[in-house]
Structure 1
């Protein structure tokens, strides 16, 4: 059994049956409490407790309360916690096929990105996650990732060369920055602030909203709108737990999560739009990426997407190409 694909159905039939027995769902995340995804999980909690008449209790643990992102992935895999929301890149070492939605300069806008993950490509990736013992409940927005550093403003590709940049543990992401001449370092987010503060690394890359709520403006000087990846947040459950839910409970969990994801996507867009101005107010120096630099960044990383596709399931690659063609990309 599986959960309904989020946002693909108009509604879930109203439930009148009681939950067979009280459920308690623990949900872990590494995002700050004020981030849109954490606020969305509070929405999920409220909706599920409302739908179940209080018979399903949800405990939310944001801001790394139950460990970092990598630890949360392992906890869900073994069933120590039921659910998590995590940057999709943290799942790529367990499900490498997820790299297919993390290619450099892949999506022109957030609408196109969600067309892909809400459609056949997302469904195929859900099957891959199920094979790894996890159940996908949908995708929230992490957003376009932007580069910050403490060394210099980014005005040319040469300005990126030699920078020690923290990235998520995603092979495609790491290869992208190697192609740009940087020295990328895979690092869990729980270690990032102190590494920046102590000068262990020069910079990092995250959406404007994350840079803001995580306080990186306190330990970074320069920011640019490189937009090199569009990133997702996966909502993932332990498959054994999910498969053990009765039909009524599964339907309520799905409806509540659909509501939470729709809420998060709207709020994420708002937070992202406001994020850059806040970073400038906090003292960061903003250097916009020129059209010439954007073209050069794309040219330097063009081979990375081809290399990633070459090592993934050819049927999945063909499906992605078919769906992106439909989107006019």
Structure 2
């Protein structure tokens, strides 16, 4: 047994040396730990650490541990964190051309939505992000956004009139709800729950899965399947920091993220399907949108989509027209 002790000691020293020299990657997000995207980032962590043989160490900070969504975007731009996963709307003021994939009633289903961001238009948007020192690592599903409020059931456009609704800081989203007669308020998700609880705002809009895991059923009464936007989660890295990695480590990060995104898209669809039943069980009153109401929503917001398209860069507009 004596020869084993020096061998064991040598192994511990070797492992300690690897840990001491491991590349550190800090990853921040504002989604709850139960959300599919946070679970996917754990997949990313496990995969990239395995692919790099421990030469990369990933520290995850979900659930707003490093601040709200806007703060996390700023942190990755400055290089304070290496990667952020965040609703794409929080990048739209930096890259306005992201409006190309955030128009009202743009996609019929998630398959159509992902075909766009995984194709030439998505590639062009990634170039726009790179111009702002952010490297796109891919798009997860945030999902179809649904309207909740504490005032009344939503059965027609007149029911939206005058409601103070929190939205993400996306100009197209805000213009959409102005067109519907609401009083939209851009607010970081970090402040949302307390604003709803205190009655500062009447309602908000999010995918069913977010409404569930964020606990909004505790502070909101009514929910409808308005499906007014399909939203994405952008995973972006600080471009300079990523390019400082060795080619082997860059390859490990990209491969691990591909696996994580595939995992998340599958899980997101499952969570979304189950979330509405959970919200109803938790006491929310569900009002289904009729075909006539859906048609009126599309008609009323069509000028917003047209204006958003007109504001796009010519190269982005050309690709969007080809979809």
Shorter-normalised TM range: over 0.9
Hey, what does 2:211 align to over in structure 1? 211
Secondary structure of 1:38's partner?
A: helix
Residues of 2 paired with 1:249 and 1:226: CA distance? 43
Residues of 2 paired with 1:36 and 1:266: CA distance? 9
Residues of 2 paired with 1:130 and 1:190: CA distance? 27
Hey, what does 2:6 align to over in structure 1? none
Hey, what does 1:7 align to over in structure 2? none
Aligned residue pair count: 305
Residues of 2 paired with 1:284 and 1:22: CA distance? 48
2:295 equivalent to 1:269: no
Secondary structure of 2:231's partner?
A: strand
Write 1 or 2 for the structure with the bigger share of helix: 2
Residues of 2 paired with 1:289 and 1:318: CA distance? 33
What aligned pairs does 1:7-46 form with structure 2 within 5 A after superposition? 22-46=22-46
Report the alpha carbon displacement of residue 311 of structure 1 after superposing the two structures with TM: 1.2
Hey, what does 2:258 align to over in structure 1? 258
Hey, what does 2:10 align to over in structure 1? none
- 1:191-232: per-residue Cα shift (whole Å, max 9, x none)? 000000000000000000000000000000000000000000
Hey, what does 1:129 align to over in structure 2? 129
Report the alpha carbon displacement of residue 22 of structure 1 after superposing the two structures with TM: 2.3
What aligned pairs does 1:211-290 form with structure 2 within 5 A after superposition? 211-290=211-290
Hey, what does 2:305 align to over in structure 1? 305
Secondary structure of 1:193's partner?
A: helix
- 1:52-108: per-residue Cα shift (whole Å, max 9, x none)? 111110000000000000000000000000001000000001111111100000000
Hey, what does 1:6 align to over in structure 2? none
Residues of 2 paired with 1:116 and 1:310: CA distance? 19
Report the alpha carbon displacement of residue 286 of structure 1 after superposing the two structures with TM: 0.1
Query: What RMSD in Å do the two structures reach over aligned CA positions?
Result: 1.1
Residues of 2 paired with 1:57 and 1:116: CA distance? 33
Secondary structure of 2:46's partner?
A: helix
Hey, what does 2:160 align to over in structure 1? 160
Secondary structure of 1:276's partner?
A: helix
Could you tell me the TM-score, scaled by structure 1's length?
A: 0.92
Specify every segment of 5 or more residues in structure 2 that has no aligned partner in the other structure, as ranges: 1-17
Hey, what does 1:173 align to over in structure 2? 173
- 1:282-318: per-residue Cα shift (whole Å, max 9, x none)? 0000000000000000000000111011111022111
Residues of 1 paired with 2:154 and 2:285: CA distance? 10
Residues of 1 paired with 2:321 and 2:50: CA distance? 41
- 1:227-253: per-residue Cα shift (whole Å, max 9, x none)? 000000000000110121111111000
Larger Rg belongs to: 2
Could you tell me the TM-score, scaled by structure 2's length?
A: 0.93
Moved more, 21-30 or 187-196: 21-30
Specify every segment of 5 or more residues in structure 1 that has no aligned partner in the other structure, as ranges: 1-17, 325-329
Hey, what does 2:105 align to over in structure 1? 105
Residues of 1 paired with 2:116 and 2:295: CA distance? 24
